[in-house]
Structure 1
Amino acid sequence: MLEKILDRFLEENLQALRDQGLYNEIDVVEGANGTIIQIKGKELINLSSNNYLGLATNEKLKRVAVDAVHEYGVGAGAVRTINGTLDLHVELERKLAEFKGTEAAISYQSGFNCNMAAISAVMDKHDAILSDQLNHASIIDGCRLSKAKIIAYNHSDMDDLKRKAEDAVNSGQYKKVMVITDGVFSMDGDIAKLPEIIEIAKQFDLITYVDDAHGSGVTGKGKGTVKHFSLESEVDFQIGTLSKAVGVVGGYVAGKRNLIDWLKVRSRPFLFSTALTPADVAATSAAIELIANSSELVEKLWANGDYLKAGLKDLGFNIGNSETPITPCIIGDEKLTQQFSKRLIEEGVYAKSIVFPTVPKGTGRIRNMPTAAHTKEMLDSCIAIYEKIGKELGVI
């Protein structure tokens, strides 16, 4: 009986997603995820990877990872609190703290894990969290896990944030109130209004939390959105991923030493998951060092982002209000958005459609992710193909 109920539930709901144009087909990349990828034997210019600086296929990082496997093995062998903390982990966290301008840092198995770990380790049912409406799903899930009262404020609306902060604090219902925001919003490419958020936080004694998954390695000359605004001493939690611009895998929380010490004894993903592998940690350390010591890749990323944006905007596409290399091409209708993506792939550009529930209904888009590794010739080809399909489907 239970199996039949489950089968019926899955069949009905999967078909409903297909009918609405909301079912996401997963493509398999045959080989490395670089600027040119191969899917089903076809070579495509890749505009969907968040490998912003091209480090996922960097030759130096590959050598470092291989060397670490030879010296340390393929796994850490335990959770961090038993004997899974290698000297590699300690060195990575030292570099991360220096990179983010904080007293200390802690690494996790993913950026998603960071938000599940850090929020619930500090906030509980006696607290409230002010969360931007467009925050990442991992923030939303982390807030839910904490059992704190979640108070959403309108996206980047500082008047709404201030009003809701005042109401929450003055209500006397909560022991602590936190404000959480993405540093860079991944679907639109806009940057959080951190200076204003910090001013409101100071006024109402709010804990401040910035998830900079799409800012680390991109904004602030590579050091992130908090650094972009010179607010390292003002933000309590700096969260980031090691799988996007850094090019490997994992995540981190950076902040004051007491905070990091608390997360080491109270954040469940740290306590109950095996540590990051030696190869990943060694490659990440090398990547952080590379980003910290040279701005060349970051500058190339921004130049490529500006070039692609200008090309698409000149053709008449709606690219929204992105302030970063993330370049959304907003189509609107979900089925048309998916059709547009399929045509791009047929013409040689891999740029995936993003539809509900990742973005609100009626705002379907193709999210383009230029990287430092793309050439001008690649981007010119993409712009020409966009023009062809845009006219063909009546988008421009």
Structure 2
Amino acid sequence: MDVADENSDEADSELLEFGVTNIFTEEETETFLPEVSDDEVYQMEEDAAEELDSVEGTELDAYESAQIDESEFVEEERLDSILESILFASDRPVSLNSLKLVFKGTNIKGDKIRRALDRFAVELAGAKRGVTLEEVPGGFQLRTKVDNLNFLSRTLKARQFRLSGPALEVLSITAYKQPIIKSEIDEIRGVESGHLLRALMEKGLVSFEGKSELPGKPMLYGTTKKFLEIFGLRNLKELPTLSQIDELLPEGMTEEEAKPSLSQLTDKLSQTIGGTYSDGEEELGKITDQLSEINTSSEFFEKEKLRQKQMKDRDRAEGLREALLMNEEIGTRDRNWLTKYDEALAAGEDLATREWNAEKERVRQLTQVSEQKAESVDEEALTEESSVDEDLNSPLMDDDEIEAHT
């Protein structure tokens, strides 16, 4: 086994052995709970504390209990019930900050919420419960137990979330070496990986992470938040180490002997159930599957580069316009570029698209000229071959002349 195969197999096994708790193909929906920052939560707690302190030591001491009731006292048992309702109703992870906002104006603070969540998680971990409470990127979420997957798949109409062995290999390499350029992935695997990166991007598991400083400025790739959610990780630090992977192999078993089991895990993963979905999503899934069979990797990346070029041009134009408004000096080159950019906008297109179309036309013309030259050479060769055949078949030629032609 060479080093490239060994590295990729190790990375592949790391993701597979730690498994997938749930794989959902869901639409991005806006949660019903507002997201708040830590500073906002801290300020809310300070305000609540000041409100309670202002009640004490005044001539209204006789009405102290009534005043405190306005802040709403929540008992521990009711806290557990409220948290369960919120988590059950939300189809997205609920952050701790969002939960703190829900209990604004009550006696419930962040430490009580955290303890209640821990109790709830322990309770759901029992064998009689069908869901678990998982801490995932973005907060806490109720998820079905993976042990019930086979039975769940018989009742739910779901679209499979399939990842082939090579795709998992590329995903593993990207996860452990991100940010990484495509050529480095190709070098590790020993084969071209562009179409696999495209498939992983379409599934939302991999995304662009900027540009490398290497010559040509190739794109950098990294994993997404959805990747962490699917593989049950809160952050990349929770990815298993190579030493942990070694411990997972049975004693005395080599990596070569472990390959069949890894293959079985890959097959099992590719059959993992997603979530429920509508008929419209089913039709969309069929269309997506059909499109995925078409090899349009080059076109996909070209369009993605065009989109990024458009964004870059827009930012550059805004910066130059602001400089002009502030009476700042800009270079002749920048001024000429801004003129071309504005002319393209006036014509109903952007400069990046105009340049992209011009380049496509140039390549098309060069290809056409090349094909015409090739056809011309073929015709000349056929004409010459035909002439030789006619000479050889001529009755006026003797044996010496025929031998000279051949």
TM class by shorter chain equals under 0.3
Q: Which has the larger radius of gyration?
A: 2
> By percentage of residues, which structure has more helix?
2
TM-score of the two chains, using structure 2 as the length reference? 0.23
> By percentage of residues, which structure has more strand?
1
